[in-house]
Structures are given as structure tokens and as C-alpha cells.
Amino acid sequence: PPLSEILNLHDFEAIAKDVMHEKSWAYYSSAADDEITNRENHAAFHRIWFRPRILRNVNKVDWSTTILGQKSKMPLYITATALGKLGHPDGELNLTRAAAKHGIIQMIPTLASCSFDEIMDAAEPGQVQFFQLYVNKDREITKRIVQHAEKRGIKGLFITVDAPQLGRREKDMRQKFEAEDPSEVSKAGADGVDRSQGAARAISSFIDPGLDWSDLKWFKSITKMPLILKGVQCWEDALEAYDSGMAGVVLSNHGGRQLDFARSGIEVLVEVVTNLKEKRGLSFPNEKFQLFVDGGVRRATDVIKAVALGATAVGVGRPFLYAYSSYGPEGMDKALQILHDEFEMNMRLIGARNIKEIVPEMVDASNIHLH
Ligand code: FNR
């Protein structure tokens, strides 16, 4: 169908399922085990309701913000998703270009199909980018990757901590992943990979399950980039991240691709905000320790709920993959235009003229269980 018939981010998923290669669809859409967490991610937003304010002159509304001190036109960023070329020959560059054009930030994955430098070279001068790190068993390799990222101007290092072993994504495993040209799959490279169990397993064997809290000091010693842990799932770990000098955490279950029955990021946000206030006197959003959420974000209302509850911004993954896999760069334009229009309308409807006016009182999160 023509792009003019696409009305929301969900629509891209249905199209992508039809038009993508079966293997690529399997890799992008799959999640762990019975995919309960994957479904819960979006469903969890349905438990939060608005308490809008009226009569506030909402002629002009502005949803721009800053993320880790960097300007963003929206309180959302493009999160890291591996193997961008499975959906489109330009792979991650579709995301890089759209991010530049629409004033948002892209998080570049370790396992991008395009090389890191190719992505950095495709960026506009001054374009802000983040980097997602999978920590290699060989720390010298990790150090080289991190310091290269910093040298090229990356403004935030997101260390993935929810994948000491890759989740079983059965839809993907059934596809017997074989890249015709391995360099097409990932230039990050992992030698001696077993390609018999799906794309995810094939590319991830280098990831170190031995990573622990004591490694964070080392990270701080090798880079000045803000460090963020991606994949925190309870307040206890958010507190430890804060105490370890991290710049923030992403409350995430990896799009439901790791531990099935992990809770959604939006659910975890509530207990993190409550406990860090109680135990460290922090209030959110907070410049020094920023909270992010990803998983199941499909509407501007989802983003607004997360911001109201204390998140600085949210990550969006699959919808953008589906948008460019189905329609190329125009798909990305459309996806971001949809979000733009949704922000404008919903900011007016809740009575918030800017991000600061999206306050906790504007949502009823009493259906979220507090730990
Ligand atoms: C991911 N995600 C991910 N995360 C990460 O830290 N490193 C990675 O390489 C990948 N790769 C990846 C591939 C694909 C195809 C998907 C769908 C996801 C997880 C990602 O950053 C994010 O947590 C989720 O995608 C958010 O959920 P939604 O927006 O896809 O529902």
C-alpha cells in the first residue's frame, strides 16, 4: 500500500511482515521463548491513564528536549538494533540520515551491518550519536572499540548488560541463518560462529558473560564518555548503577528478546523513580542520572507517559526497522512525521506546552505494582 495509507507505527509492522524476506522478518520480529515479554512491553502502557489539564492555551506546544546534554527534537532516540542490512541494502544508514534530517539521536549498535566508520562518515557535521557496546571477552578489543568511538565524537556509551547469553528466539532459530557474504552481516565480525541456530546466535558468540560490576571502574578509566547501562530491570540495579558513577540506565528487556517474563521498562520505571528518591534523594528527570525506557513504544502517548513518570527519553527499535525495510528512507520520514503529529496533538490534549509541563500528576499509574 502507498505510504499515505500508513496511519501509525503499528501499520509498518503488518506491511513489513508481508514484504520482508522471511529470514529478515524472523530476525527483526522474533523474541525469546513464548514472546510473553515482547507482547507485555506494549501492553504495559495500557495500564497507565492520563489526567489531562484544560484551558492552558496550547496554541504552541514544544516537545524538544536534551538527552545526556544533547539536543533532540523529541524525547526519543533510535535504539540500537543489529543487522540493519537484513531489511534494506543501506542498512543503518537509513537511520543515520533520518536522525540527521529530523533532529533526533541514533544509537549505533556494535553489531551494525555497516561498519562503525561508514555510519560516522554518513552523519552530518555535528550530528550527535550514541554507541551501544557489547563487551568482548577480549578487553583489548573492547578498549579499542570504545576509544575509537570516543575519538569519533560519540556522546554516550550504552553498555548492554542484559545479554550475558543470548535469549532463545525460536522464530529466528528455525531459519538456519546463513549469510551469503558474511561481511554483509556484520563487520564487527565473530570468527568460528555457528550459523545453524539463527542470526542472533551466529553473531553473538564473542559477548562476555563474565562482565560484572567491578568492570565499570575500568570503563571509567578508559573513556570520558557518559556511561549508561542498557538493560536494567529492577531498582536495586539502578541504585547500584547510580552509586557506580553511571550517567544513567536504560530500563529495558531488549525488546523481549532476552529473558522471557522480564517486566516491561515502563513498569520498572515506577519502582526506580520511587526508590531512588527514597534512598538517594533523587528527583526525575535528573540531569546527573538519566532514566531511559525502551520496549513497545509505538505512540507519542507511550513516550509522554514515560516522560511524565520521570524518563528523560525512550528508545524506539522495531518500528523504524519496519519503516525503512518496507519503504526505504521515505518510510523513516513517514514514521517520524507520524510521531511529530502525535506529539503535537497529545501535548495539546493533556495540556502540556513543553516537556517540563509533563508532570507525574498527569498520569495515573496506580495499576503498576510498586516494589
Ligand atoms: C535489538 N536490540 C539490541 N540491543 C542491544 O543492546 N544490542 C543489539 O545488538 C540489539 N539488537 C537488536 C536487534 C533487533 C532486530 C531488535 C528488534 C532489537 C534491543 C533494542 O535495543 C531495544 O531494546 C528494543 O528493540 C526495544 O524494543 P522495541 O522498540 O523493538 O519494541
Q: Which of 88, 102, 254, 327 is catalytic?
A: 254
pLDDT of residue 178: 60
ipTM of this model?
0.99
Q: DSSP alpha helices (H): ranges in the chain? A: 9-19, 22-29, 36-43, 93-102, 116-122, 139-151, 170-173, 182-185, 198-203, 215-222, 235-243, 265-280, 300-308, 318-327, 329-350
Q: Confirm or reject: Cβ of 111 under 6 Å from ligand 1.
A: yes
Q: Whose CA is nearest to atom 12 of ligand 1?
A: 81
Residue 162 a catalytic site member: yes
From the CA of 258, how far away is ligand 1's center (Å)? 10
pLDDT of residue 51: 98
- Average pLDDT score over the chain: 94
Q: DSSP alpha helices (H): ranges in 110-214? A: 116-122, 139-151, 170-173, 182-185, 198-203
Q: Confirm or reject: Cβ of 81 under 6 Å from ligand 1.
A: yes
CA distance 152 to 146: 10
Is the full-model pTM beyond 0.90? yes
pLDDT tens, position by position, 162-176: 999 999 999 988 886
pLDDT of residue 188: 41
* Cβ-based neighbours of 295, under 8 Å, separated by 6 or more: 41, 42, 252, 253, 254, 255, 256, 264, 265, 266, 315, 317
pLDDT tens, position by position, 207-235: 999 999 999 999 999 999 999 999 999 99
pLDDT of residue 57: 98
Q: Which of 162, 172, 237, 302 is catalytic?
A: 162
From the CA of 317, how far away is ligand 1's center (Å)? 6
pLDDT tens, position by position, 244-266: 999 999 999 999 999 999 999 99
| CA 206 to chain centroid | 22
Regions of the chain with pLDDT less than 70: 176-198, 201
